[in-house]
Amino acid sequence: MTIVDEYQNADEEEEEAFPPEDILNNVYIPDEEDEDDDDELSPFQKLAKKMEDISGDGGVKKRVLHPGGGSIVPEGAIVRVHYNAFLEYADEPYDSTRLRNAPERYKLGQNQLLPGLEICIRTMKKGELAQLLVSPDYAYGKLGVEPRIPGNSTVMFKLELMNFVEHAGIEDYDMMTKEERDKIEFSDILKFVEVERQAFGHGKKAAMMLESRHVKDEEEEKVHRGKLFTLYSNMAVCASKQNKFNLVMTYCNKGREIEPNNVKLLFLQGKAHRRSSHFEVARDMLKRAQRMNPNNTEINKELQELDKDIKKFSLVEKDMYQKMFSKPTGQSAEEKEKENLKAKKKLEKNLNVTDDFQKMVEEKLLEFIKDDLQDDMPFPALNLSVGEIACIMEKCENLGLDCKQIGSGQNYRLKITKIKKEETAK
């Protein structure tokens, strides 16, 4: 969403509510050097006297607060920025990526930004922090964006250029046919992959582009495999931080097809298996990682946590089985009949499955089928009823998925796997 669009669609009743402490950290506090003895000047007029005209007509003025490094942003680049935006006489920003804790990305030259902001960004270097004043002609014009931004408003930005990448020049990739994609030079594919990774964080899309690419020689093959491994490794780390253990396993498997004995991927995959209660697999992977790097504190700590989990779940499993198979003593015939009736009702209840549960299962399975990067999906089943487990297995069969019951006690789960086309053909 562009800055312009955001306020053209703003509704006074739907303004974002930010914590007071966050607002306090982003208020505008003039520096002592900004003070001016001329009381006839407004705050922005005093500030403008210390700024450089970068538009040529005084419409956009800039002051560098912290210099950046490297080259100036090139034309057509994709930029990532943080900013606070202020109206005159207002302490709190009327818009702030910092309050949202979400830097924004734009492609220059596509009318995605206020003209004044784009003019300023074109003068900046990576890491630069600048203050700029933007007149109405370079901001929201005579009409403004009521009710939040009055007409003819000069606005002030505190803008940081966090990063930028040159555009790869093949933004229509998704619209190309396979034949057209095959004609793209490998070097251009790598540029586009780098744009996706740095500017947008689309590791999945970048990986899919490389996966479908055929290389012409050993040199390209080496680069191709190296880039893919980096993408898989980075995506596994991100998925681990988000506790998406199925994705961690998927990305680690793909990375280990390139580097089978990579310690980092073995550790991440072992950790994900532990958190998913796949204890035997987790131990195997973590032990392999430990043999290759015996002094790694993270691996050793993870193995200690694994031992604790195994002991804890063994005790729970033992207690559960004792309760299941214990025989009550001194029970009368009447009490026994009541107990049997109670067990029968419980069984009937366990066989019932709600429509909402069936719908949820089907939606989850369809999402799994559509995800090209996921080949199997562990499904914790300890707290599910007999009927719900039967429902899942039936849905899997109807959708052409393989579903197996694995483990017992606290480690009991369902493993759902896609049936490969070759297996189906057989």
pLDDT-derived band at 315, boundaries 50, 70, 90: low
- Span 326-349, mean pLDDT? 59
pLDDT over 70 at 283, yes or no: yes
Is residue 50 within 8 A of residue 63, CB to CB? The reply is: yes
Q: How much of the chain exceeds pLDDT 70, in percent?
A: 71
Radius of gyration of the chain, Cα coordinates, nearest whole angstrom: 30
pLDDT per position as a tens digit, 59-107 = 999 999 999 998 999 888 888 899 999 999 888 889 999 888 888 988 8
- Least trusted range by pLDDT, from 65-69, 172-176, 230-234: 172-176
Give me the chain's average pLDDT, please.
78
Q: What is the pLDDT of residue 37?
A: 59
Q: What is the pLDDT of residue 51?
A: 94
- Least trusted range by pLDDT, from 150-154, 322-326, 335-339: 322-326
Q: What is the pLDDT of residue 136?
A: 95
Q: What is the pLDDT of residue 57?
A: 94
Q: What is the pLDDT of residue 363?
A: 86
Range 344-350, long-range pairs (CB < 8 A, 24+ positions): 347/386, 349/385, 350/385, 350/386, 350/387
21 vs 279, which has greater pLDDT? 279
End-to-end CA distance of the chain: 50
333 vs 186, which has greater pLDDT? 186
Angle made by CA atoms 146, 152, 158, in degrees to the nearest 5: 85
Q: How much of the chain exceeds pLDDT 90, in percent?
A: 28
**Dist. CA 22–CA 100, nearest whole Å:** 9
Q: What is the pLDDT of residue 327?
A: 53
DSSP per-residue letters across 285-302: HHHHHHHH-TT-HHHHHH
- CA separation, residue 336 to residues 325, 327, 348 (Å): 15, 11, 18
**Dist. CA 9–CA 4, nearest whole Å:** 9
- Span 403-409, mean pLDDT? 72
- Give whichever of 6-15, 136-145, 398-407 has the largest mean pLDDT: 136-145
pLDDT over 90 at 285, yes or no: yes
Q: How many residues are given for the chain? A: 426
pLDDT over 80 at 135, yes or no: yes
Residue 270, C-beta contacts closer than 8 angstroms, at least 6 positions apart: 281, 282, 283, 284, 285, 286, 289, 302
